[in-house]
Chains A and B, each alone.
Chain A
């Protein structure tokens, strides 16, 4: 199964992520989001950071998780490439994420993602597994 694919809209861009579990679809959505920012092949996972997110429901939690990662990236000047969700509850999640500080010499940054939005947000479970769709404000 592909981890994610990109979806396009006129002004912005989204990610459709897949996973055999809900944790995996959250992780793949994060990987998809960071693939819009930088080629993941250029990023090393040299540092780990713990991340917590909370929201009122699972869809909201997906948005909160992605926005938490954007905050981490922007405030610490990081690029992230590996995402491991330890605990995914009804309204909270805890994860470790790995990456490295931006190195302008090595990392060619592609997009400035402002936020993950709730617009046309989807998180679905079927016999084929989990699918999530998130649109970003770029």
Chain B
């Protein structure tokens, strides 16, 4: 154990509650700022037990970090950075870290609404799930039907979703319902290695495996009528949620930059508490290159979700025998929960552009913010939080409290409590499938053992995680959605 890590472990003993729902890891040793965990006592204790708090303290040691190294209530142990982590770095003396974004760059969620009343469609759901599993490629390493050439892949990586829409994959109105208007600027495809391309070509428009899913959901409860109305959401509505990422292309970009930034950090004289925290100054060739490559992967990931949205619309047209327009299959919003972005925030030293790393955290901008679509500006940004397949997912709205306290961030999901193998040992995939089906949830999974890894028991209680964010004010509850049908890889 390095000295810095030992210091981290000691600081955890001094954890203190500084306000309801917020715990501080005091700044000691090599830490440049304190750690701050938005949590109840149960989640923060669990995070301490699995050393995730030590990871929060380690991130606080990185140069140019502003205010605090933060974690959301769904915090759990990650590599280098904890999952659920938020860290902001100053442009002049701060760093950018591929590990602070993660391997699945721009992994995220989108919610597609409909005009359909779910209770009237119950009989059609199994058929829809079957059609979705047939049309949307899912599973380990599965290839997509959309094969891009080199120039097309470059166009997708630089021009993002608006380019895909110009190619017929979606509707013009989708563009504003995606963070950054569906295209993160600054992407440079020359920085995408042949290897990353090779891993990406075959996988565009595919769901992937693990915790990624496609769900048919029913809006079960509305907490905020006005916000729900603004988001096009009503009680009892049928919706579809897509959770996926940048597949092999993003994994390869992260792999390559974690490697090159190990030496970049050493050259910049940065003492890394953990090698996986490899980073480079934002204003260094390595830092700039990583951002430009990451932006390619962000655009690719959102492009994947866009292609899947196109396939979802086609599947619904087929099953419901009506056009996607008539069915009202509009995109509510698309959020990325593994990303680094330049954003302007209020700091004790005035307004500043900061490089915000969200690794398993969702942007949560308030009403009135210029960065959210005009149609939602009176309400706040839609925040989509996927839960496990047996419980629920949530639609929330962004807040000014988040803007002031967490650099406009909130949770991203339930967060695991059980290891994948432990889940497989404890839960039989076929029994789980039968149990979920008895609850009226149609399941299509590439493999039932993979299903067991993602069992509801393997995750924290999503209701509690969302409640902590609601009470802490990082996001406010708008609607709870219950799964009716699940497609897993």
Contacts and interface: CB of A to CB of B under 8 A. Distances in A.
Interface of A: 6, 8-13, 37, 55-56, 60, 63-64, 67, 70-71, 73-75, 77, 102, 108-112, 114-115, 117-121, 135, 137-138
Contact of A118 (B203, B258, B420, B489): B258
B421 A111 contact: no
Minimum-distance CB pairs A-B, first 9: A119-B79, A109-B140, A75-B198, A118-B275, A114-B103, A112-B209, A119-B276, A8-B419, A114-B251
B210 interface: yes
Interface of B: 50, 76-80, 83, 102-104, 139-141, 143, 195, 198-199, 202-203, 208-210, 248, 251-252, 254-255, 258-259, 262-263, 274-276, 278, 416-422, 446-447, 449-450, 489
Contact of B259 (A60, A75, A120): A60
Contact of B263 (A56, A67, A102): A56
Contacts of A9: 50, 77, 419
A12 B259 contact: no
A10 B422 CA distance: 9
B262 A75 contact: no
Contacts of A37: 140
A33 to B, nearest CB: 14
Contacts of A64: 259
A13 B421 contact: yes
A12 B139 contact: no
Contacts of A117: 79-80, 258, 276
Given A74-B199, A119-B275, A11 B77 contact: yes
Contacts of B258: 115, 117-118
B248 A118 contact: no
Contacts of A135: 79
Contacts of A13: 419-421
B259 A55 contact: yes
A119 to B, nearest CB: 3
Given A63-B259, A110-B140, A135-B79, 12 more contacts: A9-B77, A9-B419, A10-B50, A37-B140, A75-B198, A75-B199, A109-B139, A109-B140, A109-B141, A114-B254, A115-B251, A118-B275
A67 B79 CA distance: 16
B104 A114 contact: yes
A106 to B, nearest CB: 14
Given A9-B419, A109-B447, A117-B79, A102 B141 contact: yes
B419 A110 contact: no
Nearest to B210: A112
Majority SS at the chain A contact face: loop
A135 B274 CA distance: 13
Nearest to B360: A11
Nearest to A102: B141
Contacts of A8: 419-422
Given A9-B77, A11-B76, A56 B262 contact: yes
Given A109-B139, A115-B255, A137 B79 contact: yes
A16 to B, nearest CB: 14
Given A109-B140, A109-B447, A11 B78 contact: yes
B79 A138 contact: no
Contacts of A77: 141, 143, 202
Nearest to A109: B140
19 contacts: A8-B422, A10-B50, A10-B77, A10-B418, A10-B419, A13-B421, A67-B255, A74-B203, A74-B251, A75-B202, A75-B248, A111-B140, A111-B420, A112-B489, A114-B104, A114-B251, A115-B258, A118-B275, A119-B78
A10 B77 CA distance: 7
Contacts of B248: 74-75
A94 to B, nearest CB: 18
Nearest to A38: B140
A112 B275 contact: no
B139 A10 contact: no
A96 to B, nearest CB: 19
A112 B259 contact: no
A114 B199 CA distance: 11
Contact of B103 (A73, A111, A115): A115
Nearest to A73: B141
Nearest to A67: B255
B421 A10 contact: no
A121 B79 CA distance: 10
Contacts of A74: 141, 198-199, 203, 248, 251-252
A70 B252 CA distance: 9
Select the residue from A10, A102, A111, A112 with max chain B CB neighbours within 10 A: A10
Contacts of B252: 71, 74
Given A10-B50, A11-B76, A11-B78, A112 B141 contact: yes
Contacts of A120: 79
Contacts of B78: 11, 119
